[in-house]
Amino acid sequence: MSRYLRSWWVRVGLGLFVIGASPLLTIIMLAKMGLWPDPNPNPIGPGLLFGVTFYPALFCLFVGIVRVRSKQQRTQQMPPRPS
């Protein structure tokens, strides 16, 4: 897991996902607990933010995972250096 988190692509993807999903999930959670003024909210802005950031986040996560795995396979296939 830590090798994935060292990847810049994975960190950007996770950041985009958290930034996009947090407002929407917060409003949903507060409405369910009764702490939001409207018990049945229609959060258009946070929903659009999530929609705009979701696919770029998936793309970044996918690229990061593929790059980490391909790098790992390359290092495993390389023969050891003679000393």
- Picking from 6, 16, 5, the residue whose alpha carbon sits closest to that of residue 58 is 16
The string of pLDDT tens digits covering residues 18-48 is 999 999 999 999 999 999 998 899 999 999 9
Does the structure show a pLDDT above 80 at 71? Answer: yes
**Global pTM value:** 0.83
**Residue 83: predicted pLDDT:** 65
User: Per-residue confidence at 4, pLDDT binned at 50, 70, 90?
Assistant: very high
- Interhelix angle 44-77/8-33, nearest 10 degrees: 150
User: Per-residue confidence at 75, pLDDT binned at 50, 70, 90?
Assistant: confident
